[in-house]
Amino acid sequence: MRRIAANYIFPVNKPPLKNGIVEIDHNGAVLNLIDTKGDFTESRNLEFYNGVIVPGFVNTHCHLELSDLKGKLKQGLTHPGFIQEMVKFKKSHTIESTNKTAFLEDDLMKRNGIVAVGDIANTELTIEVKHKSNIYYYTFIEVMGLSNNSEKIIINGLDLLKKYQSNKLSSSIVPHAPFSVSPELFERIKSLAIQTNSIQSIHNQESDSENQMFGSKQGKLVDAFLTLGINLDNWKATGKNSLESVIDFLPNNNTILFVHNLYSSKNEIEKICKTFKNPFFVLCPNSNYFIESKYPDIELFMNYSDKITLGTDSLASNTSLSILDEMKTIKNINSDISFETLLSWATINGAKALKCDNKYGSIEIGKQPGINLISDFDFTKMQITDKSSIKVFA
């Protein structure tokens, strides 16, 4: 048993404990959480650290299989330009390069205090990494296609799903984005999701050109598709924005992760919360800035703070897979957000979104949530700093 104490413990499910103690077994399971009320009368075998102790982080949106693209794409391409570059670079993917970098980044995520990840997969390249990892992965098997071959696409998706599930990896089939999935394919995905009550994920309003495409079949995203040789002859504009155009294709009662939401309006956010039983908004600010030179308007989401989670996206659009780095960015662009609120986005909300909050997300007796120490913490403002770093205990 280890007895670990710090200036504060933030259990997340209850107020912080000043000079609290958490007792864990050799597997990292929480045996006891002690409120000393500032008095270490029982100090035997006690490890005290300067900083704050928090649960392990949850990264609800990642593309581990793109790890070998780190540093290969330019910043500020905008989303249509980024898509074009991604298509070009993904052709250079090999099993060897992907496995090597994915193993390294999986290890880095663990050392960055991440215990659970919602990961997008288009291939089987990360199965081995996830199977061997100490991190809990929920894999979203992403399917896409605007042609009339939805049957073939679904069959291929189911084959990939079986490969993940046969390796005991939690997974489900999900749509890529509103602009890359035909109505017929959306219906097939929705039907599967309802049958299995699976967690869903969709890239949502990542660029303004996405809304332009649905509104008038014009804009840079349409131009990018045509440049890539994607046939849009049968694709019809709806005269609406992208969310309004596909909202009926998504299952109302499933847990759904709406990712990015960079160009979502207040009314659209409210509509999502009224339409769906269990929606979550995944914010990936560092990736958004890398691609679009723009941060999400976080104030628009604050009425639904319990539905906000954090993601890193991929190393094609980010410099690290670190949730702490995402927290620092949000702190810098929205200084009024409290550390406790920010921490809930990075932990318990993400665990609920991935349906693993029985084990992760908060420091509670019986859980194995991961135990992180954040050092270089500002105790005057009770907030992380740009110098804050992570030490992982479990």
Q: At how many degrees (to 10) do helices 78-90 and 285-292 cross?
A: 100
Task: Say whether both 180 and 282 belong to one domain.
Answer: yes
Q: How far is CA 190 from CA 187, 243, 278, 289, in A?
A: 5, 15, 15, 31
Q: What percent of the chain has pLDDT over 70?
A: 98
- The reported pLDDT for the residue numbered 73 is 94
Task: Say whether both 38 and 111 belong to one domain.
Answer: no
Query: Is the pLDDT assigned to residue 153 strictly greater than 70?
Result: yes
Task: Say whether both 348 and 385 belong to one domain.
Answer: no
Q: Which residue has the tokens 């499933």?
A: 254
Task: Say whether both 49 and 62 belong to one domain.
Answer: no
Q: Are 18 and 38 in contact, with CB atoms under 8 Å apart?
A: yes
Q: Please give the mean pLDDT across all residues of the chain.
A: 95
Average pLDDT for residues 160-183, to the nearest whole number? 98
Q: What is the pLDDT of residues 221-254, one digit of tens each?
A: 999 999 999 999 989 999 999 999 999 999 999 9
Whether 29 is covered by a domain: the verdict is yes
Whether 36 is covered by a domain: the verdict is yes
Average pLDDT for residues 296-319, to the nearest whole number? 97
Which among 60, 63, 53 has a CA at the least distance from the CA of 19? 53
Question: What CA–CA distance (Å, rounded) separates 252 from 248?
Answer: 8
Whether 178 is covered by a domain: the verdict is yes
Whether 164 is covered by a domain: the verdict is yes
Task: Say whether both 185 and 315 belong to one domain.
Answer: yes
- The reported pLDDT for the residue numbered 41 is 65
| pLDDT-derived band at 193, boundaries 50, 70, 90 | very high
- Residue 146 is given by DSSP the state S
Average pLDDT for residues 333-338, to the nearest whole number? 96
pTM of the entire predicted model? 0.97
By three-state DSSP, how is residue 378 classified?
strand
Question: What CA–CA distance (Å, rounded) separates 8 from 50?
Answer: 9
Whether 368 is covered by a domain: the verdict is no
Q: What is the pLDDT of residues 49-103, one digit of tens each?
A: 999 999 999 999 999 999 999 999 999 999 999 999 998 887 766 667 788 899 9
Whether 100 is covered by a domain: the verdict is yes
**E strand or H helix at 64:** none
Half-sphere exposure in the Cβ direction for 213 (13 Å, CA): 25
Whether 72 is covered by a domain: the verdict is yes
Task: Say whether both 17 and 63 belong to one domain.
Answer: no
Cα dihedral value 244, 268, 284, 236, nearest 10:
10
Question: What CA–CA distance (Å, rounded) separates 54 from 83?
Answer: 37
| pLDDT-derived band at 185, boundaries 50, 70, 90 | very high
Task: Say whether both 114 and 209 belong to one domain.
Answer: yes
Q: What percent of the chain has pLDDT over 90?
A: 93
Pairing of strands 46-55, 2-9: parallel
Query: Is the pLDDT assigned to residue 309 strictly greater than 90?
Result: yes
Domain count, the chain: 2
- The reported pLDDT for the residue numbered 88 is 84
Task: Say whether both 64 and 49 belong to one domain.
Answer: no
- The reported pLDDT for the residue numbered 93 is 66
Query: Is the pLDDT assigned to residue 124 strictly greater than 70?
Result: yes
Question: What CA–CA distance (Å, rounded) separates 279 from 299?
Answer: 18
Task: Say whether both 239 and 144 belong to one domain.
Answer: yes
Angle at 32 between CA 30 and CA 33, to 5 degrees: 100
Whether 271 is covered by a domain: the verdict is yes
Counts of helices then strands in the chain (DSSP H, E): 13, 15
Q: What is the pLDDT of residues 269-279, one digit of tens each?
A: 999 999 999 99
Higher pLDDT, 340 or 45: 340
- The reported pLDDT for the residue numbered 45 is 85
Cα dihedral value 333, 335, 336, 342, nearest 10:
80
The tokens of 89 are what? 């670079």
Task: Say whether both 116 and 173 belong to one domain.
Answer: yes
Domain that holds residue 7: 2-54+376-392
Task: Say whether both 147 and 273 belong to one domain.
Answer: yes
| pLDDT-derived band at 117, boundaries 50, 70, 90 | very high
Question: What CA–CA distance (Å, rounded) separates 210 from 177?
Answer: 10
Task: Say whether both 208 and 159 belong to one domain.
Answer: yes
DSSP string of 240-302, one letter each residue: S-HHHHHGGGS-TTSEEEEEE-TT--HHHHHHHHHH-SEEEEEE-HHHHHHHHS----GGGGG
- The reported pLDDT for the residue numbered 148 is 84
At 224, which CATH number?
Answer: 3.20.20.140
